[in-house]
Structure 1
Amino acid sequence: MSKLPDHFLWGGAVAAHQLEGAWQEGGKGVSVADVMTAGRHGVAREITDGVIEGKYYPNHEAIDFYHHYKEDIKLFADMGFKCFRTSIAWTRIFPNGDDAEPNEEGLQFYDDLFDECLKYGIEPVVTLSFGNRI
């Protein structure tokens, strides 16, 4: 086979808490990932009771996809992506976990993200980060 079939979905996959950053922006609520410290070989990650000064929480900034998704999606298109699998942070849509109405800023972020994918012919494949409300 010299090339992949046209129906093959070449792409990449990420998780909202691993790339978005902007942990306190756009009306987002606190998730388990927001209070999980960094770890390293021999040192386990720790889930803290709130954010503790002096501890490093890697997802607070992550790769700052929240602010740079347009540039990143263009790079995906330049690589020939046909699909992009991402998750939706539940806490960006329902900040308290039991809100009667969704957070409009969170909905708008994902709407804009998916529109940007479609602009480049990239099919969004979406999952839900559901178990992350504290």
Structure 2
Amino acid sequence: MMHLRGLMLALLALCVAVPVAAQDSLPPAPYAYNQLSDPQQEAAAQALMQTLRCLKCQSQSIADSDAPMAGDMRHQVRTRISMGEDPEAIRAWLIDRYGDYVSYAPTISETTWPLFAVPLLLILVALIVLWRRIRRRA
């Protein structure tokens, strides 16, 4: 019974590990590491890529990350820029696809307004407490 359970666990692990390993062994997308031939388009792509977060690394932009997912995102940015799409439209598409977290320049929306409001409220409370303490001492 224990031998069969161990065999089943090993088989399950193999079934999970093979697709994951296959994803990293795929060749990178054409524009993942190749720049666009038009310098203005490449500059626009680089500027946009610096403002987008790698979802795997989380602390690097997709321009700086070597993660395969960042390479795919760079490819998407460069392909869309080469087709003449506006960088802000590309940013909006990526935010729709991956969520607000992908952008280093978040916008105020229904889900993100607390991120902007709470620090302001904390500062306001701290100023009120400080003002009351100063007033008591005087």
Do both share a fold (TM > 0.5)?
Answer: no
Give TM-score scaled by structure 2 length.
0.25
Greater Cα radius of gyration, structure 1 or 2:
2
Looking at secondary structure, tell me which structure has more strand per residue. 1
Looking at secondary structure, tell me which structure has more helix per residue. 2
